[in-house]
């Protein structure tokens, strides 16, 4: 059994190294790149808000940024942590790894579509995606939040279902 205190980078290396699913290995790569990018954006926003305080109270914006970071990053990294934990207990199969990667990819896609729905600006897309842009712009903003929450619930459901089969 591997060391239980792997940390974030160690967990990613361990999960990618032990998995037999190519879909999961691609998810490890994509989710790590997206996670690094999101953390970079949050750090830049924190620096900007610290340099230009609005007078709303000490560190209020940083608390909001931390909460946003956790809400975005935890579901992004959850499939990797689940698979890593199952691999440490020898309960992982290529099929369950693939399922966890697919719901992880579903979260990424629904997150970016949800952000597009939440964005109040009109989106200029060109053929063949022009109709999709108009459709996304026509949806109420609350649909974006619902879509993201549903994708997080899907991760939890697939984790529970694959836990029973592994």
Encode pLDDT of 33-80 as tens digits.
999 999 898 888 878 777 776 655 556 667 777 788 888 999 999 999
CB-based contact 92:100 (threshold 8 Å): no
Q: Is it the case that residue 165 has pLDDT exceeding 60? A: no
Q: Is it the case that residue 164 has pLDDT exceeding 50? A: yes
CA of 15: how far to CAs of 68, 107, 134, 144, in Å? 26, 19, 40, 31
- Write b or e for each residue in 106-126: b if 16 or more Cβ atoms lie within 10 A of its Cβ, otherwise e: ebbebbebbebbbeeeeeeee
Taking every pair of Cα atoms in the chain, the longest distance, rounded to a whole number of angstroms, is: 53
Q: Is it the case that residue 152 has pLDDT exceeding 70? A: yes
CA dihedral in degrees (59, 38, 162, 1; nearest 10)?
Answer: -80
d(CA 148, CA 5): 30
**pTM value?**
0.85
Give first-to-last CA distance, the chain, whole Å: 17
pLDDT at residue 119, as a whole number:
82
CB-based contact 9:87 (threshold 8 Å): no
State the average pLDDT for the chain: 86
DSSP tag of 90: T
Q: Is it the case that residue 1 has pLDDT exceeding 50? A: no
Tens-place pLDDT, residues 68-100 = 888 899 999 999 999 999 998 888 899 999 999
Going 122 to 123 to 125 to 131, the CA torsion angle's sign is negative
Tens-place pLDDT, residues 112-150 = 989 888 888 777 777 787 887 788 888 898 999 999 999
């Amino acid at each position: 059994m591997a060391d239980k205190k792997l940390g974030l980078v160690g967990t990613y290396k361990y999960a990618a190294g032990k998995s037999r699913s190519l879909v999961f290995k691609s998810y490890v790569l994509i989710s790590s790149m997206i996670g690094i990018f999101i953390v970079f954006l949050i750090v830049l926003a924190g620096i900007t808000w610290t340099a230009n305080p609005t007078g709303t109270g000490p560190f209020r914006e940083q608390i909001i940024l931390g909460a946003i970071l956790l809400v975005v990053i935890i579901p992004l990294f959850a499939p990797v942590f689940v698979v890593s934990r199952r691999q440490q207990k020898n309960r992982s199969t290529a099929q369950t790894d693939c399922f966890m990667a697919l719901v992880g990819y579903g979260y990424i896609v629904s997150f970016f579509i949800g952000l597009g729905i939440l964005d109040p600006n009109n989106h200029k897309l060109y053929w063949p995606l022009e109709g999709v842009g108009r459709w996304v712009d026509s949806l109420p903003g609350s649909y974006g939040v619902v879509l993201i929450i549903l994708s997080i619930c899907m991760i939890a459901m697939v984790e529970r279902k694959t836990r029973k089969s592994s």
